[in-house]
Amino acid sequence: MGLDIRIPLGVMFTLLGLLLAGFGFFSDPAIYQRSLGIDVNLWWGLVLLAFGTVMLGFGWRAAHRTH
């Protein structure tokens, strides 16, 4: 059986989510004045992080079921 596509996608989205959420968390709040004060980098980073961990969970669960 080959590599499940959910595992590399989960890794990619998890890493991108961590980077984006980290940037949003540590960045200056003044740069978010154009977006009505909403820290879009933090929120979308958390969305990507959640999606990545769900994909990793599904991929690992499927990999362990087949063995």
Domain segments of the chain as ranges: 6-65
Q: Render pLDDT for 20-47 as a digit per residue (tens, 0 to 9).
A: 999 999 999 999 999 999 999 999 999 9
Give the residue from 25, 2, 12, 16 showing the smallest Cα distance to 55. 12
Q: For residue 42, what pLDDT is reported?
A: 96
**pLDDT attached to residue 17:** 98
pTM of model > 0.75: yes
Question: Residue 38 has what pLDDT?
Answer: 93
Long-range contacts of 40-48 (CB under 8 A, 24+ apart): 44/20, 45/16, 45/17, 45/18, 45/19, 45/20, 45/21, 46/17, 46/21, 47/17, 48/13, 48/14, 48/16, 48/17, 48/20, 48/21
